[in-house]
């Protein structure tokens, strides 16, 4: 709806002078239209008919003498008149003015979460919000809160905040409880994978990449640096499987009652955790070519995992 409103406004700004020129004996009829082409572009145009009136003769409508096309993107507005004697570009509508004292300039997130201000390098202050087409402004007066020039690192930091970075959910086999002396399997579902997110602002393309590294902690003091694991399957243990062999039981109620359980045994079993450390980097191309690293982020998935044991007992018998 915001894009449609912008297109309608631009069409009115471009076409209004032509319509006003029709006052008098001759007339100009303007039939505007607008259309969205994709999630990031849209256009507007109009068919312009000139009606010429002469004394004693009926009015006649000429062929369309011009077609006004307006292309709106996240970085610019292009206006062009075609279909006349020659094609000639027209300047786009001026950037709306915004007083330097406007309270919105002091907001770090002017359009909600994930939004921010940036400078387009041409003297305009622009507003960005995910999946939106927002305007740039000409600041009037003296700005008390200057907006920093376009910075790939700053843009990448905002983009990184939008990455999902999901660690997945821990799955186990055996499902309900492990057994001492027998390997238990662990894996993450869905498995964390490399995530990427890109953005284009003022001709600057910034790509952010997050790569996961996983560390397993099994609750009995053992740990393993490995991948996300693979679901249990019979036969030979495949590469990438995450397994662990428990030596000591840990069942609900053991802590405080069984002197042989480990101090790390919890009230519901061992606390198994998968700690995912995301290494985040960015690469920028355009007016500013840059690459670098952002602070790592950590996400964790955990589950309580009871471990039982099988005991052997000597049973007295009768001689035959």
Q: Minimum mean pLDDT among 57-61, 167-171, 295-299: which range?
A: 57-61
Q: Contact, 167 vs 273, CB < 8 A?
A: no
Asked if pLDDT for residue 142 goes beyond 60, the answer is yes
Q: What is the mean pLDDT of the chain?
A: 77
Bridge-based pairing state of the strands 178-179 and 307-308:
parallel
Whole-number pLDDT of residue 314:
64
Please state the separation of Cα 273 from the chain's center in Å: 27
Q: Contact, 244 vs 186, CB < 8 A?
A: yes
Q: Taking residues 296-316, what's their average pLDDT?
A: 86
The Cα 172–Cα 306 span in angstroms is 11
Percent of the chain at pLDDT > 70 equals 65
With H, G, I as helix, E, B as strand and everything else as coil, classify residue 105.
Answer: helix
Which tops the pLDDT comparison, 56 or 189? 189
pLDDT, tens digit, 9 for 90 and up, residues 194-223: 999 998 887 789 999 999 999 999 999 999
Q: Minimum mean pLDDT among 6-15, 45-54, 259-268: which range?
A: 6-15
Whole-number pLDDT of residue 24:
43
Q: Taking residues 284-308, what's their average pLDDT?
A: 94
Whole-number pLDDT of residue 42:
54
Asked if pLDDT for residue 66 goes beyond 60, the answer is no
Q: Contact, 163 vs 196, CB < 8 A?
A: no
Whole-number pLDDT of residue 58:
54
The Cα 186–Cα 271 span in angstroms is 13
Q: Taking residues 161-183, what's their average pLDDT?
A: 95
Q: Taking residues 268-274, what's their average pLDDT?
A: 97
Q: How confident is the model at residue 288 (pLDDT cuts 50, 70, 90)?
A: confident
Q: Taking residues 26-54, what's their average pLDDT?
A: 55
The Cα 239–Cα 138 span in angstroms is 59
Percent of the chain at pLDDT > 90 equals 40
Whole-number pLDDT of residue 97:
85
Q: What is the DSSP letter of 104?
A: G
Name the residue with tokens 């284009």: 200
Which ranges constitute the DSSP H helices of the chain? 2-20, 152-160
Q: How confident is the model at residue 18 (pLDDT cuts 50, 70, 90)?
A: very low
Asked if pLDDT for residue 311 goes beyond 90, the answer is no
**What DSSP letter does each residue of 134-192 carry, written as one string?**
--EEEEES--SSPPPBP-HHHHHHHHHTT------EEEEESSS-EETTSEEEEEEESPP
- Residue spans of the domains in the chain: they are 2-90, 97-149, 169-308
Dihedral pair phi/psi, residue 128, rounded to 5°: -120, 140
Q: Contact, 261 vs 249, CB < 8 A?
A: yes
Q: How confident is the model at residue 284 (pLDDT cuts 50, 70, 90)?
A: very high
Residues 6 or more apart in contact with residue 108 via CB below 8 angstroms: 116, 117
pLDDT, tens digit, 9 for 90 and up, residues 72-127: 443 444 444 444 444 444 444 568 888 888 888 888 888 888 788 887 777 788 88
């Amino acid at each position: 709806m915001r894009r449609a409103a912008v297109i309608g406004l631009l069409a009115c700004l471009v076409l209004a002078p032509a319509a006003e020129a029709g006052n008098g004996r001759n007339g100009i009829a303007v039939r505007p239209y607008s259309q969205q082409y994709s999630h990031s572009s849209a256009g507007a145009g109009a068919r312009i008919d000139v009606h010429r009136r002469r004394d004693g003769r009926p009015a006649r409508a000429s062929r369309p003498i011009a077609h006004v096309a307006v292309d709106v993107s996240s970085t610019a507005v292009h206006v062009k008149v075609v279909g006349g004697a020659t094609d000639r570009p027209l300047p786009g509508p001026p950037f709306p003015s915004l007083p330097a004292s406007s309270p919105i300039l002091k907001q770090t997130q002017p359009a909600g979460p994930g939004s921010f201000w940036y400078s387009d390098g041409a003297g305009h202050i622009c507003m960005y919000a995910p999946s939106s087409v927002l305007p740039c402004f000409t600041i009037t007066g003296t700005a008390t809160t200057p907006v920093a020039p376009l910075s790939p690192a700053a843009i990448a930091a905002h983009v990184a905040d939008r990455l999902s970075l999901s660690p997945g959910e821990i799955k186990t086999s055996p499902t309900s409880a492990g057994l001492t002396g027998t390997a238990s399997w662990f894996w993450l579902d869905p498995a964390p994978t490399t995530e990427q997110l890109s953005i284009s602002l003022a001709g600057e393309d910034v790509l952010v990449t997050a790569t996961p590294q996983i560390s397993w902690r099994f609750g009995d003091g053992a740990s393993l640096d490995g991948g996300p694991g693979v679901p249990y399957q019979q036969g030979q243990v495949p590469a990438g499987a995450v397994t662990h062999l428990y030596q000591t039981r840990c069942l609900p109620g053991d802590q405080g009652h069984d002197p042989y359980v480990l101090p790390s045994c919890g009230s519901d079993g061992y606390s198994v955790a998968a700690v995912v450390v995301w290494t985040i980097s960015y690469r920028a191309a355009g007016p500013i070519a840059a690459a670098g690293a952002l602070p790592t982020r950590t996400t964790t998935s955990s589950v309580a995992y009871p471990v039982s044991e099988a005991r052997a007992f000597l049973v007295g018998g009768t001689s035959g």
